[in-house]
């Protein structure tokens, strides 16, 4: 299982680059960027990939609705060219409240949207000429995109069975957030693996993203997690996964505890089928440093 960290994008840009350089120096294998309302994730990763050698890069995740898949393909291949092929492209629907209220797009039939999106994005990334016309999306290119770079793996933020099926059939795998280990083991992994197997595809990648805090005061850290990550307990897609896990809220699925306890929890994810772990360190500065150190210690172990 590849060990990665969600880096903090709420900083001056040079500090963001330095932060990822520090992660690479510490031995972390992958650096993941969210795409919310700050820096553009792919532009940021293109710069980081050119400046920081060796560390793998990923988006967790880029919302699909605001960008045509051909535009996203060109951006992703640009990052591949800048980084020497170190990108994993995580994409997702985002949430109805964001897509409709912020971007003004209809969130009607999101699975159809993702199916049509992947039908354009994946062949464009693979250097093919694309001709596709669906119910809501179309593309007709004059030829392949003129970017000399390898296609990155595409991970779909899929939680429900329908979306996991799409990810297994049409993409390289899935990337989850705020989804506990029992749900990963009993729902995420078997559903996406069955879909990939039925489509004659290789075993899909499963990247599991969770908050992490190494601490001797687990109760205080869980209270902090409940505060910092409260919004995820109210968004329908994450709420469904928390309910499936039997969790009251995000604090119940966060990876919290002593060094040994955190190590055991992360290793369990690898044992149940995760191919990548994306940890989001939180807490005090000392706790964040300790969490990164523990995750780095898991590399190769």
| Displacement of CA 13 from its chain's centroid (Å) | 21
Note the pTM of the prediction, 2 decimals. Answer: 0.96
User: Partners of 208 in the beta sheet?
Assistant: 176, 277
Q: What pLDDT score was predicted for residue 44? A: 98
In 3D space, the residue among 64, 15, 56 whose CA is nearest the CA of residue 35 turns out to be 64
Distance CA 168, CA 192 (A): 5
Residue matched to tokens 């994005």: 121
- Contacts (Cβ under 8 Å, ≥6 apart) of 229: 178, 211, 249, 250, 251, 254, 282
Q: What pLDDT score was predicted for residue 103? A: 84
Q: What pLDDT score was predicted for residue 221? A: 98
Distance CA 184, CA 166 (A): 17
Q: What pLDDT score was predicted for residue 240? A: 97
Q: What pLDDT score was predicted for residue 102? A: 86
Where are the chain's structural domains?
1-156
Distance CA 128, CA 120 (A): 10
- Termini Cα distance of the chain: 9
- Contacts (Cβ under 8 Å, ≥6 apart) of 119: 132, 134, 170
Q: What pLDDT score was predicted for residue 268? A: 98
**Tokens describing residue 44:** 């940021």
Q: What pLDDT score was predicted for residue 36? A: 86
- Contacts (Cβ under 8 Å, ≥6 apart) of 99: 63, 65, 93, 105, 106, 107
Q: What pLDDT score was predicted for residue 98? A: 84
- Contacts (Cβ under 8 Å, ≥6 apart) of 241: 159, 176, 178, 179, 180, 183
Longest dimension (CA), the chain: 59
Dihedral angle sign, alpha carbons of residues 204, 209, 213, 219: negative
Dihedral angle sign, alpha carbons of residues 96, 98, 103, 104: positive
Pairing mode, strands 138-140 and 131-133: antiparallel
**Tokens describing residue 87:** 């990108």
Name the fold adopted by 1-156.
TIM Barrel (3.20.20)
In 3D space, the residue among 167, 161, 155, 188 whose CA is nearest the CA of residue 272 turns out to be 188
Judged by phi (left if over 0) then psi (alpha if -120 to 50, else beta), residue 50 lies in alpha
Q: Which class for 158: exposed (0-12), middle (13-18), buried (19 or more C-beta within 10 A)?
A: buried
Ranges of the chain whose pLDDT falls below 70:
none
């Amino acid at each position: 299982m590849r060990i990665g960290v969600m880096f903090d994008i709420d900083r001056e840009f040079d500090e963001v680059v330095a932060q990822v350089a520090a992660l690479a120096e510490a031995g972390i294998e992958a650096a993941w960027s969210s795409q919310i309302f700050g820096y553009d994730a792919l532009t940021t990763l293109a710069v980081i990939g050119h400046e920081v050698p060796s560390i793998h890069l990923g988006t967790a995740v880029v919302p699909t609705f605001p960008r045509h898949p051909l535009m996203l393909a060109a951006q992703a291949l640009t990052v591949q060219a800048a980084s020497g092929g170190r990108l994993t492209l995580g994409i997702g629907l985002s949430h109805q409240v964001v897509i409709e209220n912020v971007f003004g797009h209809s969130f009607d039939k999101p699975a159809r949207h993702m199916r049509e999106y992947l039908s354009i994005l994946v062949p464009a990334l693979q250097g093919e000429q694309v001709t596709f016309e669906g119910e809501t999306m179309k593309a007709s290119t004059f030829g392949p995109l003129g970017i000399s770079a390898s296609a990155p793996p595409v991970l779909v933020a899929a939680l429900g069975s329908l979306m996991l099926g799409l990810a297994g059939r049409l993409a390289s795998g899935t990337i989850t957030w705020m989804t506990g280990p029992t749900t990963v083991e009993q729902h995420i992994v078997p559903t996406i693996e069955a879909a990939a197997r039925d489509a004659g595809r290789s075993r899909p990648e499963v990247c599991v993203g969770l908050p992490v805090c190494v601490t001797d005061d687990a109760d205080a850290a869980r209270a902090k997690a409940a505060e910092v990550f409260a919004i995820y307990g109210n968004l329908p897609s994450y709420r469904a996964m928390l309910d499936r896990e039997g969790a009251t809220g995000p604090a119940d699925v966060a990876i919290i505890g002593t060094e040994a306890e955190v190590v055991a929890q992360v290793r369990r994810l690898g044992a149940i089928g995760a191919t990548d772990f994306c940890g989001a360190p939180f807490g005090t500065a000392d706790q964040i440093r300790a969490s990164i150190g523990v995750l780095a210690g898991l590399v190769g172990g």
